[in-house]
Amino acid sequence: GEMNFFSVSLSFLLSGQFAIVKRCKEKSTGVEYAAKFIKKRQSRASRRGVRREEIEREVDILQELQHPNIITLHDVYENRTDVVLILELVSGGELFDFLAQKESLSEEEATEFIKQILNGVQYLHSKKIAHFDLKPENIMLLDNNVHLPRIKLIDFGLAHRIKDGVEFKNIFGTPEFVAPEIVNYEPLGLEADMWSIGVITYILLSGASPFLGDSKQETLANISAVNFEFDEEFFGSTSELAKCFIRQLLVKDTRKRLKIQDALNHPWIKTHERLEDNSATVEAQMKVESQQLKTKRLKEYTIQSHSSMPPNNTYVNFERFASVLEDISLVEMGLENVAQKRESLQDDVEALLSIYCEKEAWYKEESESIRQELSQVRYEFRKAEVLRKGLQEDLRTTDASLASIDSRYLTREAHLSSLRQELYAELR
């Protein structure tokens, strides 16, 4: 079909290595969709673009999927350079970004989202389809303005149908989230998704990544050795059931790793379902709910992962990036005001100090009665000194915060600049 049934707006939602997603509107109905333009590989020798059989595989899999927690394919078009997938518009942003905006997170809230992820994966696995690229960027929310947003699994570019008796090996995915069998180039199956769910749950509850090393090689070595632990600093408030759930997913032997149905039936997931009101269940539920997990580290993790932007199929939400820049400019204005107030306070403190020094010399020459007055002034001055030290401490903290924001701002400016160049090159 031709694209004139749709009007495509140039507000880019997401951008990958060989795919750009734009918002579009169906002219006949006015309904908005996301149009994913996948660049076709023009020749066998070329390394730019996606091979036709890979695009067809993604389309075939998407056409078979119809589930509340999985993105829906509406239509497919093709032109000379691209295949265009018209997909359901998922406008609620990434799950991790949504959770990072909360002050704190209870395990009950966490399991409400993890259960939705498990439901989507159960549907895929029931059809013998492995996603192979489950990671925070691919776990989106349909709409974030409701009490419990609905999870949508997106990006089926690496998804494969697992056929009985047919051995399938490949090396792909994002290092942080891939299973040991992918790292070791061993036969792959549905179990690889379960490992990724373990990594995602670990990060969601702690804001720390279980296998992430200083280099790609170190990360892959950590995965192969299943080198992870529940650091008390990150998991001090986490229940044993949650750790047990993660431990049973991060298992090297695929036969012993939790399968999707077992994960859905796991006590940690089951505890938070509305069960019969027997006192033991209520007590257990209250005990788990009382633990509020801080989201500060998750916030730091999302900022870091968005700013690192590896090129392999990673999506970047441009609207989110723009709002971050606005926030930074507001913070900068606030910090300028603080800096001005700091200078005037410094002058006041220095003036007080010089007055005290002069008075001290003069009082020493005075009689006993004046010495008593001097001790009173000293007492007052000590209070001023404590106040000054407190102010200096606050100002040092403000300086550190300003430096940190400055460096983040520069990083984002660099990324924005590189994105602009890529976009300009792409448009040309």
Supply the range of the domain harboring residue 249. 95-315
Cβ-based neighbours of 198, under 8 Å, separated by 6 or more: 246, 248, 249, 250
Examine the domain organization and report whether 194 and 306 are in the same domain: yes
Q: Give dist(CA 128, CA 122) in Å, integer.
A: 10
Residue 273, pLDDT score: 62
Last residue of a domain, which of 284, 315, 346?
315
d(CA 307, CA 316): 9
Report percent pLDDT > 90 for the chain. Answer: 64
Task: Name the domain boundary from 272, 293, 315.
Answer: 315
**Three-state secondary structure along 280-302?**
HHHHHHHHHHCCEEECHHHHHHH
- What mean pLDDT do residues 347-372 have? 83
Q: What is the pLDDT of residue 324?
A: 74
In this prediction, residues 302-318 reach a mean pLDDT of: 56
Express each pLDDT in 383-403 by its tens digit: 999 999 999 999 999 999 999
Mean pLDDT across the chain, nearest whole number? 86
User: Could you list the active site residues?
Assistant: 133
CATH number for the domain spanning 84: value is: 3.30.200.20
Q: Is the pLDDT of residue 118 over 90?
A: yes
pLDDT beyond 60 at 108: yes
161 by DSSP, 3-state: which?
strand
Tell me the pTM.
Answer: 0.68
| Domain count within the chain | 3
pLDDT digits (tens, 9 = 90+) for 207-242: 999 999 999 999 999 999 999 999 998 999 899 999
182 lies in the same domain as 77: no
Q: 88, 119, 135: which is the final residue of a domain?
A: 88
Q: Which residues contact 377 (CB under 8 A, 6 or more apart)?
A: 356, 359, 363
CA atoms lying within 13 Å on the CB side of residue 68: 8
The whole-number pLDDT of residue 277 equals: 45
pLDDT band at 102 (very low <50, low <70, confident <90, very high): confident
What confidence score (pLDDT) does residue 365 get? 72
